[in-house]
A and B are shown apart, each in its own frame.
Chain A
């Protein structure tokens, strides 16, 4: 998701449902992608990464999908919990290890 002005895109889901957060990246030379979770008042926390030679990677309750053809990245969270409420940033990394962050998406989990 990309931010527009001062408003973060927001995804609101019911506890227990699955969440999908999307991200479009711009640099076709990017070969490494990371999802970070940032809770209020804290620094970004690494969640999962994927290299450009893969199109899917799974972690604990999280899956990242990479579509290089359309330069699209998504983060799927299974059985979303209240503790998953945060802002999620995708980041793309070119070979020089310069991270370019997406605008962020706020995930709100309703109990």
Chain B
């Protein structure tokens, strides 16, 4: 089983709202990732968690706040977003962060910021 699940599938929020995206995997993977994908573009890395600790933050604005409560769960807390943050947010996981490890992606949350 190589399933990564994400909720919600779709989210519409105003610029003053606070919302959270959730990601879950039960493959025993110790690395989890958040990516942002705009239309007709490849995914762009935002954050990497390895063994539940933040390892990489690709200069993401503080209005995006990741959290890894345990080895199976990854959240992305959203606050005071801008319309240009509208995108598909993808979660991925891999066995480990370092080395030749395949990253498996979830279906994504399509976010619209009004």
Contacts from A to B (Cβ < 8 Å): 3, 6-8, 31-32, 34, 36, 41-46, 49, 51, 89, 93, 95-99, 101-104
Q: A46-B2, A97-B94, A104-B42 are in contact. Are A36 and B105 (CB under 8 A)?
A: yes
Is A8 a contact partner of B105 (Cβ separation < 8 A)?
Answer: no
Q: A44-B90, A97-B94, A98-B45 are in contact. Are A3 and B40 (CB under 8 A)?
A: yes
> Which residues of the partner chain B approach A97 to less than 8 Å between Cβ atoms?
31, 94, 96-101, 103
Q: Check if B43 is an interface residue, CB within 8 A of chain A.
A: yes
CA distance A51 to B102 in the complex (A): 11
Is B105 a contact partner of A51 (Cβ separation < 8 A)?
Answer: no
- Number of B residues with CB within 8 Å of any CB on chain A: 27
A-B pair count, CB < 8 Å, reads: 61
Q: A42-B108, A43-B105, A45-B105 are in contact. Are A3 and B45 (CB under 8 A)?
A: no
> Which residues of the partner chain A approach B96 to less than 8 Å between Cβ atoms?
97
The residue among A7, A8, A102 with the most chain B CB atoms within 10 A of its own CB is A8
Q: Which residue in B2, B56, B105 is a CB contact (below 8 Å) of A44?
A: B105
Is B102 a contact partner of A43 (Cβ separation < 8 A)?
Answer: no
Is A49 a contact partner of B102 (Cβ separation < 8 A)?
Answer: yes
Is B102 a contact partner of A101 (Cβ separation < 8 A)?
Answer: no
> Which residues of the partner chain A approach B41 to less than 8 Å between Cβ atoms?
3, 103-104
Is A95 a contact partner of B99 (Cβ separation < 8 A)?
Answer: yes
Nearest A residue (CB) for B50:
A97
What are 23 A-B pairs at a CB distance below 8 A?
A: A6-B40, A7-B40, A8-B40, A34-B103, A42-B107, A43-B105, A43-B107, A44-B90, A44-B105, A46-B2, A46-B103, A46-B104, A49-B102, A51-B100, A89-B43, A93-B100, A95-B99, A97-B98, A97-B99, A97-B101, A97-B103, A98-B56, A104-B41
